[in-house]
Chains A and B, each alone.
Chain A
Amino acid sequence: MENSFIIQIDHLTKRFPVGKGYFTALKDISLSFGRGEFAGLVGPSGSGKTTMLNIMGSLDSPSQGTARVMGQSVSELSHKDSARLRNRHIGFIFQTFNLLPVYTVFDNVEFALLLQKIPSARRKKMVMDALEWVGLTDKAHSRPNMLSGGESQRVAIARAIVKKPEILLADEPTANLDAENSHHILRTMQKLNEQLKTTFLFATHDEKVMQYLKRKISLRDGRVEKDEVAETINL
């Protein structure tokens, strides 16, 4: 049973130094996520959602407890192994899209594949496939500053999904989008989750996102308040 989880959080606590003391962002959290989940960490600002996502993305490490991602303990990974874990198994989607402005849409999506040293012809096919999933093949040679917010976020999704990672972490992915674009993006993610069996984990306080989640983990003041499976899913 334990082996089917791709993320296992066990009694995790995270503290940040503030002045002479510490601020505890996460307190004794234990959670597990299996393959193909479409789950979200929800809660108000300061509840610890992003911190949790960062630890699961191996961008940060726990102060206490363990976080195992793809069977590897995040706090025991070297910088290099941590980078490899992110490059091979984890995709990120950010609130502010974080596209590289000097590159074209194609280059942005291709970037992660370059790090994996995938041959050029295969890389091109993978990029075009990813752009097709998000409906942006016609924008392949545009630069990010020529895209709308919705299009930018779809490029970010394509960039995250192009390497077919097991886990996709999305931090407030709809915060900078209008309602229509938000639903479009979420439906795209839902479709990818079903087709690719990628585990999607969101950090959000957006009601629109919550409608789509199959599992909702409510955080408050760094603690898990509720962990519930949704009864009806917005499709």
Chain B
Amino acid sequence: MGAGLRTWLNVGVLSFAFVVIIFYNGMIDGWNRQARHDTRGWEVGAGQLWHPEYDRYDPFSFEEAHAELSPDMQPLIKRDVLVPVLLEQATMYPQGRMQGVVLKGIRADQKLLKLPTGALKSKDDGVLIGKRMARSARLQTGDRLLVRWRDKNGTFDAREFTIARIFDSNVPTIDNGQIWLSLERLQEMTGKVNEATYLVASDAYEPTDKGIWEFKDLDYLLADLDAIIQSKKGGGMIGYILLLIIALLAIFDTQVLSVFRRQREIGTYIALGMTRWQVVKIFTVEGSAHSILAALLATVYGIPLFLYLDHTGLSFAMAENTDITIADTIYPYYSLGLIVSTVVLVVVSATVVSYLPARKITKMKPTDALKGKLQ
């Protein structure tokens, strides 16, 4: 195989590594941005004020995690700067089956979260459920649903509700096993008048001392989401690192062969007055030039591909069956940092693997090199 063809094969594989790395990380970053945006819009706002007993992973904590909303919070609630949410464990009986759920009370006229709470105003006994919940419980808009709960004295009570609206959200944590209803109704049902479990804050909220309520910022509230995305990122890395290794091995192999085949040339360089390290530098630069060519080639077919994906996105229709926040269509996000770091990663790696075989030149005897003798 000629050196030219070998070079272009190396450049081709390396350019593919460039494109895959940028594509994959662009998708993850796009998903990350979209998931954070959706989770903020649908669930966590700009932060939350939690009752100290509240533990979002422990439904038993809901029993104790409620407190009265103080008078100084009322103007903020009225202006939608804070949106109180009350939680209550319950059991629902859709078509005679039994299923544990969480009742979530929220003001029908809130505008802070994207939840279509306006639908709660249309029917006195109306509730909202998400599409996942509707699918798992086989419920449709207009269906009647029996729900049983305990009031604050521990007494069981039950009531029938009507599904007022099934909402479509990419955020499963506000959907699965949850029934949203009017805050006032839930307060009345449970006897927890003017109480809430947590309050969702808007961007206009300035975290100040609000008595027992503890402010949780976005870093805290989105930590799980970040962890999931990071783990996906780590898993995907294996794929493109393998691709990168294949490309780098090809460059390494080419360099070994090049140093072996071009001994006479190496000897000539030394005879002309180059130091051995200067010759090593020539070979290293030649090897790392593969990565520069690969970057150029990657722009030729990568940029149109990335622009197309940026326009159409990539469908993740199956994602709605998962428990992670992911939209049906993900739009990749290519940051300058991603592109620069990818180029640096590939160029530095290619330079290192080019340098390693070229180092052998420093051990060569120039007289043997001039004869092209196997050393």
Contacts and interface: CB of A to CB of B under 8 A. Distances in A.
A83 B275 contact: yes
Interface string B254-277: 000000000011011011111110
Interface residues of B, number: 16
A92 B272 contact: yes
Contact of B370 (A59, A79, A100, A115): A59
B172 interface: no
A99 to B, nearest CB: 8
B366 interface: yes
Interface residues on A, range: 20 to 34
Given A96-B264, A98-B264, A100-B265, A54 B367 contact: yes
Contacts of A83: 270, 273-275, 278
B275 A111 contact: no
Nearest to B267: A98
A80 B362 CA distance: 12
B367 A86 contact: no
Interface string B339-375: 0000000000000000000000000011100100000
Given A94-B370, A98-B370, A59 B271 contact: yes
Contacts of A222: none
Contact of A115 (B265, B268, B272, B365): B272
Interface string A148-176: 00000000000100000000000000000
Nearest to A112: B272
A115 B270 contact: no
Contacts, number: 49
B272 A86 contact: yes
A152 to B, nearest CB: 13
B270 A98 contact: no
A40 interface: no
B284 to A, nearest CB: 17
Contacts of A79: 275-276
Given A96-B264, A98-B264, A100-B265, A87 B366 contact: no
Interface centre among B265, B271, B275 (most CB of A within 10 A): B271
A88 interface: yes
Among A54, A60, A88, A98, max chain B CB count under 10 A is at A98
A92 B367 CA distance: 12
Given A96-B264, A98-B268, A100-B268, A87 B367 contact: no
Nearest to A160: B272
Contacts of B370: 59, 94, 98
B265 A57 contact: no
A174 B276 CA distance: 29
A219 B274 CA distance: 30
Contact of A60 (B272, B273, B275, B365): B365
A191 interface: no
A84 interface: yes
A230 B294 CA distance: 61
Contacts of A88: 273
Contacts of A59: 270-271, 366-367, 370
Contacts of B276: 79
A87 B268 CA distance: 12
A57 B267 CA distance: 12
Contacts of A84: 273
A87 B271 CA distance: 8
A96 B275 CA distance: 22
Contacts of B264: 96, 98
Interface string A131-161: 0000000000000000000000000000100
Nearest to A165: B273
B271 A80 contact: no
A84 B265 CA distance: 18
Nearest to B365: A60
Given A79-B276, A83-B278, A100-B268, 14 more contacts: A59-B270, A59-B370, A60-B367, A80-B275, A83-B274, A83-B275, A84-B273, A87-B273, A94-B268, A94-B370, A98-B268, A100-B265, A115-B273, A159-B272
9 contacts: A54-B367, A60-B366, A80-B275, A84-B273, A92-B272, A94-B268, A94-B370, A98-B271, A111-B272
Give the top 8 A-B pairs by smallest Cβ distance, nearest first: A87-B273, A98-B268, A83-B275, A86-B273, A92-B271, A59-B366, A54-B367, A112-B272
Interface of A: 54, 57, 59-60, 79-80, 83-84, 86-88, 92, 94, 96, 98, 100, 111-112, 115, 159
Interface of B: 264-265, 267-268, 270-276, 278, 365-367, 370
